[in-house]
Structure 1
Amino acid sequence: MGLQQTEEEKHVLQQRAGEGGPQTGTMTECFDCDNCKESLYGRKYIQMDNGPYCIPCYDAHFANTCDECKELIGHDCRELYYEDRHYHEHCFRCFRCDRSLADEPFTCQDEELLCNDCYCNEFSSKCIACEKTVMPGSRKLEYNGQTWHEHCFICSSCQQPIGSRSFIPDKKDYYCVPCYESKFAPRCTRCKKTLTKGGVTYRDEPWHKECFVCTGCMTPLAGQQFTSQDDNPYCIKCFGNLYAKKCSACTKPITGFGGGKYISFEDRHWHHNCFNCARCDTSLVGKGFIPDNDEILCRDCSNDL
C-alpha cells in the first residue's frame, strides 16, 4: 500500500503603499484644498487625480477603515490588505497568540488569521513515529488514519524509508515488499524460492505451479489428475507404466482412474471390460468361470472341452 503528499496554501499579504499611491507635498504659493477650500499654504497635502487635499480631508474621504479596530487608516499609517479587507499594521495579527502577521507567513482558518506556529499546533497532524508536527508544505504519508513524515515511514526490517514504494502491513509493523517476502512469504518445496502468488499445495507443502511436475516425465501436474508413489507425484501415464498392475488380457496398466474397476484372481488381474471368456468373449463379471491354464472360460465353453 504501497501514502499521499499535501501542501498547505499560504496567503500572500498585499500592502498598499509606495509607487502609484497619492503624493504628499508642500506649497508655498496660493493653493486651496479641493474639498474644504482652505489654503494649503505651508501645509502638507496629498495630490489626487481631481486635485489636492489637505490631510484631514484626505483621511475623511479616501482612507480605508480597519477591519479589526473599525477606525480609519490614516495616510501616515502602514496599511495591510487581504481578501478585500484593510488593516492597520498593528491590527493584522494572529487570532490565537496576538502576534503581528505583517511580515510573517500566515493561514486563514474559518476566517481566522493564524500564524504558522499556531496553525500547525492546532490543525496540522503529528507524525506517529517521531510525534513531531508535520509542517504544512512538507512531504508526508498517510495510511489507515495515521500520518508520518516521509523520512519517518520506514521498513520494520531494513529500516530504510519506504517512500512511494509498495509496502505490506503486518500488525503494527510495515515492510517493503522484498523484506516481507524474505521474512514471511512461503518458499517453494522444490526450488526454495519465494512463492508470492498462485502456486499449489501438495502434502501441506507449497509449490510453484511450474515446479509441481511429474517425477517421471516432468510434465506439469497443476490442474491435472495425478497420483503418488513413495510421496513423489506422478502423472497417470508414468504411474501406470512404472507401478500399476497389468491387465492379463490387454496388458495395459490398471490404474483405477476414471471410475475404472478391476478383478483379481490368484496373481492375475483384469480390467472389468477385459474379464471375458477366452472362447466366446462373454463377460464373466459377477459370474462363475473356469480357469484353463492361462485362459478363463465360462461354464458352457468349459463343458464343451
Structure 2
Amino acid sequence: MRMLKPRCGLCEELIFSGSYIRALNSEWHLNHFSCWHCDVSLNGKRYVLTDDHPCCISCYEENFTNRCRVCTNKIGLDSRDISYKDQHWHESCFTCFRCSLSLLEKAFAVKHEKSYCEVCYDREFSSRCESCEEVFQPGTRKIQYKSKQWHDSCFHCKVCKTKVEEIDGRTSSVGIAKDVLIIKVGSKSFIIPNDKDIYCVRCFEDKIATKCTKCKNILTTGGVTFRNEPWHKECFVCVHCNGQLAGQKFASREDKPYCAVCFGELFAKRCASCSQPITGQGGTRFISFEGRHWHSMCFICALCQKSMAGKGFITDGEDIICPDCAKDKLMGPG
C-alpha cells in the first residue's frame, strides 16, 4: 500500500487523501503547495518558480523584478523586461530620451543613464568635424589636436585649398603665436586664427596677418597702435627727428606723430618772455593777452619781477607791470 501512495513534496509524508496537487514533478498536500515567501496557497493560482521554489505573483514582483529606469515602477510579469547591463526598462518605456522613438529591435546607445536612438546619439554626442560639423563615421581618416578634429578632406587652406599629404591623423608639432594656433602636419604648417578657419602660412600672411602700417611687414610680437593702425615699435618714430616714440610722450599733427620736443619746436606757441615753446607738457599753464603768450612762471612784472599770474596788470609798451609799479612810474620820484 505504501508504494501506491505519493509523498508530499513539502512534508514528505504520505498523502492518504484522494485529493492532492501534482506540480513541479512532485505531489503535494492541498495546503502544502504554497508560496515559499508568504505561504499563501497556490492551488489553482499562477505562480513563478524561483530557486526551485514556487512563488506567488505578488511576492515575485516584490522581490525578484527590476525597477524601470524611466518610470521607476516595478517591471511585472505583464510587461517585457528590456535590460542593458544593469539597467532595465518596461517595453513601453524603452524609447529614445530625445525623440521618444521606440528602441525595440533598433540600434541604441546609453549615455548618462539615458537611452538614445542612433540618430539622436550621433547628433548630441558623436565627434564632429570642426569645419563641416558632420559626424565622423567609423574608419574616417582625420586630423586631431586635443579636442579639435577635422576630416582629412576638410583640413585645407580656406583661400588656396591646399591640403596636407600623407596624413597619418597626428600633428607633428603645435604652437601658439600671438593668440593664433599653428599646427604642423608633415611638412606643411597651417594657422587657425579663430578656432575654425584654416589657412596655410602664405595665405595667412597675405590675407589675415596684421601688418605694420609703415614697413608693411607682419607683426609677430607686440607693437604700437596709433590712430587704430598697427606699427612695429621700431617703426613708430617721430616724423621730424626719427626718434622712437614707443613708451614716450608724443603728439600728432595732421595724423603724423611727433616727439614732444619736435612738436614744441615746430608748432607750439612761444613765450613772449623766454622765447621757449609753450608745450603744455607736464601740466604747464600759460597766459595769453593780445596775441602774446607767456609761461605762467614767466608772466612777471617787468620792474619788480613779481609774478602777475592771477593778478591785475598794466601794459607799458611791450612790458607788463603791476599796479604798484605803474603808480610809482606815473608819479615819478618823490
Q: What is the TM-score with the length of structure 1 in the denominator?
A: 0.51
1:154 corresponds to: 156
Q: 1:181 aligns with which of 183, 201, 205?
A: 205
- Does the 8 Å contact 2:157/2:190 carry over to 1? no
Size of the aligned set, in residue pairs, is: 176
Give the drift of 1:176. Answer: 2.8
User: Equivalent residue of 1:210, what SS?
Assistant: coil
Which residue of the other structure, out of 295, 309, 314, is the alignment partner of 1:290? Answer: 314
2:235 corresponds to which of 206, 211, 218:
211
Letter of the 1:269 partner, please give it. H
Counterpart-to-counterpart distance in 2, 1:126 and 1:229: 54
Query: Match of 1:227, SS?
Result: strand
Q: Which has the higher contact order (CA 8 A, sep 6+)?
A: 1
Match of 2:288 among 224, 241, 264: 264
Amino acid at match of 2:205: E
Whether the 8 Å contact between 1:212 and 1:221 is mirrored in structure 2 is: yes
User: 8 Å contact 2:190–2:198 — kept in the other structure?
Assistant: no
- Sort the Cα spacing of 1:295 and 1:127 in 2 relative to 1 into closer, same or farther, 3 A: closer
Per-residue displacement from partner, 1:200-249 (whole Å, max 9, x unpaired)? 22112222221111111011111111111122111110011111111111
In structure 2, what is the equivalent of residue 142 of structure 1?
144
Question: How far apart, in 2, do the equivalents of 1:189 and 1:152 lie?
Answer: 34
Residue type at the aligned position of 2:272: S
- Contact 1:127/1:134 (<8 A) preserved: no
- Give distance in 2, aligned partners of 1:213 and 1:276: 38
- Which residue identity is paired with 2:237? V
Q: Could you tell me which residue of structure 2 aligns to residue 236 of structure 1? A: 260
> Equivalents in 2 of 1:216, 1:145: separation in Å?
51
Distance in structure 2 (CA, Å) of the matches to 1:256 and 1:141? 60
Distance 1:201 1:147, change over 3 A: closer
CA contact (8 A) 1:168 1:177 kept: no
Secondary structure, in 3 states, of the residue corresponding to 1:283?
Answer: coil
**Aligned partner of 1:225 among 237, 249, 256:** 249
Q: 1:301 to 1:127 in 2, by over 3 A?
A: closer
Distance 1:126 1:239 in 2: 58
Once the two structures are TM-superposed, the CA of residue 147 in structure 1 deviates from its matched residue by: 5.1
**Per-residue deviation, 1:253:** 0.3
Coordinate RMSD, CA, aligned: 2.8
Tell me which amino acid in the other structure corresponds to 1:219: G
Mapped partners of 1:234, 1:172: distance in 2: 41
Query: What secondary structure, in the 3-state scheme, does the structure 2 residue paired with 1:146 have?
Result: strand
Of residues 293, 298, 301 in structure 2, which corresponds to 1:274? 298
Q: Deviations over 1:92-123 (max 9, x none)?
A: xxxxxxxxxxxxxxxxxxxxxxxxxxxxxxxx
CA–CA separation in structure 1 for the residues paired with 2:264 and 2:212: 27
**TM-aligned CA deviation for residue 153 of structure 1:** 3.8
Name the aligned partner's letter for residue 290 of structure 1.
I
Determine whether 1:201 maps to 2:204. Answer: no
Shift in alpha-carbon separation, 1:291–1:127, aligned structure 2, 3 A? closer
Contact persistence 1:187–1:194 (CA under 8 A): yes
Per-residue deviation, residues 39-82 of structure 1 (Å, max 9, x unmatched): xxxxxxxxxxxxxxxxxxxxxxxxxxxxxxxxxxxxxxxxxxxx
* Aligned mates of 2:191, 2:209 — CA distance in 1: 14
The residue type equivalent to 1:301 in the other structure is C
CA shift at 1:169, angstroms? 4.7
Q: In structure 2, list runs of 5 or more residues that go unmatched.
A: 1-126, 165-183, 330-334
Measure how far apart 1:188 and its partner are. Answer: 2.0
Within 2, Cα distance between the matches of 1:202 and 1:260?
25
- Aligned-residue sequence identity (percent) comes to 52
What does the per-residue CA deviation read over 1:240-280, in whole Å, with 9 as the maximum and x for residues that have no partner? Answer: 11111111111110011111110011121100111111111
> 1:163 maps to which residue?
185
Partner Cα separation in structure 1 for residue 129 and residue 319 of structure 2:
88
